Chains A and B, each alone.
Chain A
C-alpha cells in the first residue's frame, strides 16, 4: 500500500488508436444530438402529456357532477351495476345493484323517494322547510341534510329495512301511523324485519317522546287562543293512519294527530295542517307537542303572520324534543318579535338565544337583529 501512489502511474487504459478515438468522438456527438432531438420531441409533447391527465381529471369531475337526473315519476331500476343519480335540488343518490327506486314527489316542501327494492345511499342537500323522505314498506326515513343509506329487502319470508347514518340525524317513522320509531344519529344503524303475514310484528319500541300521550291533555290551557278550523283530524276525507280496529271509537293519539297534520302539510293543505298541529299542542305535553308548536310557529312566519307565531315559538323554544330544534325555535322567535316591531321583546329574546346558544347555528343572524346591542 505504501508504494501504491507510485504504482498508480502505471494505471492507464490502453491507448486509443486515432481512428478509434475519432469514432468515439463522433459517437459522442451523435448521442448528444439524439438526446437533444428526444428532448425537443418531449418538449413538444409536454402540453399533450399534461393535457391527458388534466382531461382525465376533468372527465372525472364532469362525470361526478353530471349524474343522470331523476324527475318526479321516474322509476330507476339497476341491474348489475350501481348507478349514481342527482335530484333537482342537488341531492345525490347512489342506487346499488338490483335496486328499484321511484321518485314520488319533489317540490319545495317535500322530496319523497320510494325504495321498493335494494339499497340506496343518499347525500341530501339541506333545504330549510323541506322534508326529505325515503319510504320503504317498513319505515319512512325523514332527513334534513345528511348522508345515509337505506336498504329494503323483500323475500318470501318477509321484508326488512336497514338504515345507516354517516352524518347528521334521521328520523324513522312507522308508515301506518307516522309515529317516530327511532331517531338515528351519525354512526348508528337501525334494522327492522317483518315476517310475511305477521302484521303484529313489532318494530323496535318507539322512543319515549313518540309514544301516545295521555288524555286528557294536561296542557290544554296553553293551546293557541284562536285555533284554526278543520281541526277534525283524522276525518272521513283525511283519515289518520291507525292501528285501531275498524269501528273503534278510540280517539286518535297525539302521534296520530301529528302524523295527520304532517300529511296535510305535505299535501299543501295548509289550514288542516295548522289545525292538526294546534290540536297536538292542545293535547300534548311532551316533545311532540313542542315539535308541533315549532311547526305552527314556522307556518305562521312563512305566512307573514309574525304576531301569531310568537306564542307557539316561545313554547317550542322551551319544549321542542332536542336542543337543535329548541335553538331553531328560539332563533325564529327573535325573527318573529323583530317583525312585529317589539324591540324590547326582541332584544330579550335575542340575549336569551345568545346566552343559551353562543355557538348556535343562527348566532350570527340573531345577533344582527333588533337593532344595536
Chain B
C-alpha cells in the first residue's frame, strides 16, 4: 500500500458521505454509470496491485485490469451479496490472471512467444526497494515463471498477498486441499529454482 491513493468519487460534493460498495453496486445494477465509475475508482489500485503481483507483467497490466472491471461490472447480476463486491472483484481478477498465465505458458510451449518478448523478469520490485528485497523478489518471480500457473497463483496469494489458505481457496474458487497441494508444489519448485539460481543443490 506504499503508493495507494484515493481517486475522487464522482458522487456528492466534497463533504458528502461516500456511498458504500453495497449502495454503489445496487445503483450500478440499475444502470447508473456514476456508480460504476465510483466502484472503478475506489478499487482500481487494489486490482492493479493484485494483477501485478499475480502476473508481474507491467506491459499487459492495463489490459488485465480493464478486463477484470468489465467482467465484474457486467456480471453484477450474478453477485448475490452486493457488500461482497471487493471479494468478487478480486476473484474475477484472479480468474483472469490465471487465464492469461495459462495462455502465456501455452504460447511459450508452442514456440509462439520467445523469451526475448517477455517483459523484463527482474524488474518487479518498486524503485525504492532495498537491494536485497529487490533481488529476492526477482529470483522468486523468475522461478514462478517456470512453474504451473495455478501453483503460481496459489503461491502469490498466500506467500506474497498474505491470505490464509481458506481465503485463498475462496478467492480461487477451489477447495482448501487443492490450495494446499498447489502451494506445497509451488514451494518445492521455488526452492529448487532458487537453489539453482544460487548455484547450489536444492
B126 within 8 A of A: yes
Interface of A is mostly: helix
Q: Which residue of B lies closest to A22 (CB)?
A: B7
Known A24-B44, A29-B33; contact A11-B126, beta-carbon cutoff 8 A = yes
Contacts of A39 in B (CB 8 A): 74
* A3-B136 in contact (CB<8A): yes
Q: Which residue of B lies closest to A31 (CB)?
A: B70
Write the B46-74 contact mask toward A (1 if CB under 8 angstroms, else 0): 00110111000010011001100110011
Within B149-202, the residues touching A (CB, 8 Å) are 159-162, 187, 190-191, 194
A10 to B44, CA, bound (A): 18
Q: How many residues of A contact B (CB 8 A)?
A: 26
Central interface residue in A1, A32, A35, by most chain B CB within 10 Å = A32
**Assuming A1-B159, A8-B161, A28-B73, what are 19 further A-B pairs, CB within 8 angstroms?**
A1-B194, A3-B132, A3-B136, A7-B136, A8-B53, A8-B159, A10-B126, A10-B128, A10-B129, A12-B49, A12-B126, A13-B58, A24-B65, A24-B66, A25-B37, A25-B40, A29-B36, A32-B36, A32-B74
Write the A5-43 contact mask toward B (1 if CB under 8 angstroms, else 0): 111111111111000010011011101100110010000
Contacts of B26 in A (CB 8 A): none
Least CB distance from B77 to A in Å reads 12
A50 within 8 A of B: no
Known A21-B7, A24-B65; contact A11-B137, beta-carbon cutoff 8 A = yes
Measured CB to CB, the residues of B under 8 A from A are 1-3, 7, 33, 36-37, 40-41, 44, 48-49, 51-53, 58, 61-62, 65-66, 69-70, 73-74, 124-130, 132-134, 136-137, 140, 159-162, 187, 190-191, 194
A4 within 8 A of B: yes
* A3-B74 in contact (CB<8A): no
A46 to B140, CA, bound (A): 49
* B74-A35 in contact (CB<8A): yes
* A10-B134 in contact (CB<8A): yes
* B36-A8 in contact (CB<8A): no
* B160-A5 in contact (CB<8A): yes
* A24-B129 in contact (CB<8A): no
A207 to B48, CA, bound (A): 88
* A32-B128 in contact (CB<8A): no
* B136-A11 in contact (CB<8A): no
Q: Which residue of B lies closest to A33 (CB)?
A: B33
* A11-B52 in contact (CB<8A): yes
* B190-A1 in contact (CB<8A): yes
- CB<8 Å pairs between A and B, sample of 15: A1-B159, A3-B132, A4-B160, A5-B159, A5-B162, A7-B129, A8-B137, A8-B159, A11-B124, A11-B126, A13-B48, A25-B44, A29-B37, A29-B40, A32-B70
